[in-house]
Amino acid sequence: MMNLYTFLAQGFPQMGEKPAMILPDGQQISYSTLITRSAQYAQALVNTGAQPGDRVAVQVEKSHEAVALYLGCLRAGTVFLPLNTGYQKSELAYFIGNAQPRVIVCDPGKRETFAEIVSTLNPDPSPAVAGVSVRSAPHTTVLTMDIAGTGSLAEIANTCGADFATFARNPDDLAAILYTSGTTGRSKGAMITHRNLAANAETLVKFWGFTGDDVLLHMLPIYHVHGLFVALHCVLRAGAAMHFEPKFEPSRARALLAKSTVMMGVPTFYTRLLADPNFSKVECTTIRLFVSGSAPLLAESHIEFSARTGQAILERYGMTETGMNTSNPLVGARIAGTVGIPLPGVAVRVREGEITCGANEIGSIEVKGENIFPGYWQMPEKNAEEFTADGFFKTGDMGQWLENGYLQIVGREKDLIITGGLNVYPKELEEKIDALPGVLESAVIGVPHPDFGEAVVAVVVALPAAQIDEATLIATLKADVANFKVPKRVHVVAELPRNAMGKVQKNLLRQQFAALK
């Protein structure tokens, strides 16, 4: 095994002038430009004093230069640490204090903020981790990169040569640390190795049939596993091209679909396309594959999308810590409301305690394979809890196998509601509520209750012009499910709070509706 960059570069096209990226203004970034620019960034990092294993924290806008920087970090053997552009000072201070990066690259507007954070950093020697250098007195350099790629980092890079001998790395050396978007407690730094990323990239390119002829529509952020690893690695490893857009915008997506062969998105992309009455099959004729993940795609959206475009969205399941674990097939049935079958090389099991669940029995999802991360940064006790004795990672997701061998996700363990000692799986109720007339979507949560421990509460979004009556909805559910599952309250809201990846933020709903009255 080798440096992940070298592995990806093996898939680069022979013709270096072939575009890797097509930018919104039509400018093309060729593979040879990516090679040269990543070499310059790698050398710039080395010149700044970054050594293999050092963390490079990056909070910059999405741009082709940011992609070259990511590749440069890999080439220099450093650990890429992308930060959500929405993070503010107190959050950033935690990440920087925890990860102790050698270099920070940020938007010029955030330079002062990072400089202040760095000035208050206490040296905190980290325990030895494969491929990570430990310094007793870390010294952090703050460099800038704006959306055009210019800034103090580019100034150094511009003086560097076009060749850089990519540093060899061991498979278990860290390639990246991604902080999970933890909704409870502090977010954790998932350590991700060169092996994890190369294995998953190889699997996905084959499983989803990527070739050099593909053109991917890339509208995802690149600080998250979906846009950074899944989308970029499939393109680069296959020597394909991508339309590289700053963000999702439905009319822009519709215009670019006709020039693309694959689109990867979070479910919100698909619901927003469907919300546009002019979106139709005509725009999708060149597309061979629509992929959805990072949050559950409503079965209804899947069905409506098929009806509208003639294409079945391929839903897959993964997470920051694991990369991709299961996927609906490229050839064969893509079943709405399921995340498909285990990917080659990934062992997936569903267990209730130590007992393996049979079909239609809900349990905890555990995964094992070369794609699974070795643990969280500087959390040895946490790591021991997160893996089983036989090396499976406990995802924290609950699910069940259907009779046909497809996996269905039921929700996060922490979203499981225990009311009067009985388990309520939010997904079961959400599906029933979503199917009721006048309902667009719903989220079912547990809120504190003096007698039951937790009480079931439904938060519902109505279809345009529809009215939802709490008493009627509760009465309808009473006729359908056991009494303990019936929501004590139904709140109607204009929309559900979602994060950038389209995940419903149930923690916010739990806060908002904590009082039962």
**DSSP one-letter string for 289-301:** EEEE-SSPPPHHH
| Residue in the block written with tokens 């012009």 | 465
Structure tokens at 123: 């040296």
Q: Choose one: 79-87, 316-324, 329-337, 458-466; the region binding ligand AMP (CB under 6 A).
A: 316-324
Of residues 59 and 327, the one with the C-beta less far from ligand AMP: 327
CB distance 49 to 102 below 8 Å: yes
Least spacing, CB of residue 65 vs ligand AMP, in Å: 25
At position 23, the amino acid (one-letter code) is: L
Helix (H) or strand (E) holding 143: strand 141-144
Q: Measuring CA to CA, which residue among 429, 492, 494 is closest to residue 455? A: 429
d(CA 345, CA 200): 9
204 touches ligand AMP (CB under 6 A): no
Q: In whole angstroms, how close is the CB of 412 to ligand AMP at the nearest point?
A: 5
For residues 83 and 259, give the distance between their C-alpha atoms in angstroms, rounded to a whole number: 31
Pick between residue 132 and residue 500 the one whose CB is nearest to ligand AMP. 500
Dihedral (Cα; 185, 189, 190, 193), 10-degree rounding:
-170
**Strand 355-356 with 375-376, pairing:** unpaired
| Residues 335-345: b if buried by 16+ CB within 10 A, e if exposed | bbbbbbbbbee
Binding-site member from 35, 217, 319, 444 for ligand AMP (CB under 6 A):
319
| Total interface residues for ligand AMP by CB under 6 A | 18
In contact, 314 and 328? CB cutoff 8 Å: yes
Q: Distance between alpha carbon 389 and the CA centroid of its chain, in Å?
A: 27
- The secondary structure of the chain in percent helix, strand, coil, rounded to multiples of 5, reads 30, 25, 45
Rule CB under 6 A: say whether 343 interacts with ligand AMP: no
Closest separation in Å from C-beta 409 to ligand AMP:
4
What binding mask, one character per residue, do residues 223-242 give for ligand AMP by CB under 6 A, x or -?
A: --x-----------------
Which range in 44-52, 124-132, 214-222, 312-320 contacts ligand AMP by CB under 6 A? 312-320
Nearer to ligand AMP, 20 or 509 (CB): 509
CA distances from 379 to 83, 117, 384, 385, 398 (A): 19, 22, 9, 10, 24
Give the per-residue contact string, 167-196, with ligand AMP (x = CB under 6 A; - = no): -------------xx---------------
Closest distance of CB 404 from ligand AMP, Å? 17
Contact positions with ligand AMP (CB under 6 A) in 321-340: 339
| Strand-pair category, 314-319 with 289-292 | parallel
- Whether the CB-CB separation of 95 and 67 falls below 8 Å is answered with no
CA–CA separation, 128 vs 124, rounded Å? 12
Stretch that binds ligand AMP, among 18-26, 293-301, 353-361, 443-451 (CB under 6 A): 293-301
Is 501 a binding residue for ligand AMP by CB under 6 A? The answer is: yes
The smaller minimum CB distance to ligand AMP, of residues 315 and 430, is found at 315
Asked if 83 interacts with ligand AMP (CB under 6 A), we say: no
Number of helices followed by number of strands (H, E) in the chain: 16, 26
| Nearer residue to ligand AMP within complex by CB, 135 or 414 | 414
Listed ranges 22-30, 240-248, 313-321, 383-391: which one lies at the site for ligand AMP (CB under 6 A):
313-321
Nearer to ligand AMP, 174 or 468 (CB): 174
Which residues contact residue 307 at a Cβ distance below 8 angstroms, ignoring those fewer than 6 apart?
A: none
Assign 78 to helix, strand or coil. Answer: coil
- Minimum distance from residue 445 beta carbon to ligand AMP (Å): 15
The distance of closest approach from Cβ of residue 86 to ligand AMP in the complex, given in angstroms and rounded to an integer, is: 14
CB of 322 vs ligand AMP, minimal distance in Å: 8
Which residue's CB is nearer to ligand AMP, number 63 or number 395?
A: 395
| 294 counts as binding ligand AMP under rule CB under 6 A | yes
Out of 288, 351, 394, 412, the only residue in the binding site for ligand AMP (CB under 6 A) is 412
Q: Is 366 in the site for ligand AMP (CB under 6 A)?
A: no
* Residue 261 binding ligand AMP, by CB under 6 A: no
The two structure tokens encoding residue 199: 């294995």
Interacting residue ranges for ligand AMP, rule: CB under 6 A: 180-181, 225, 293-296, 315, 317-320, 339, 395, 397, 409, 412, 501
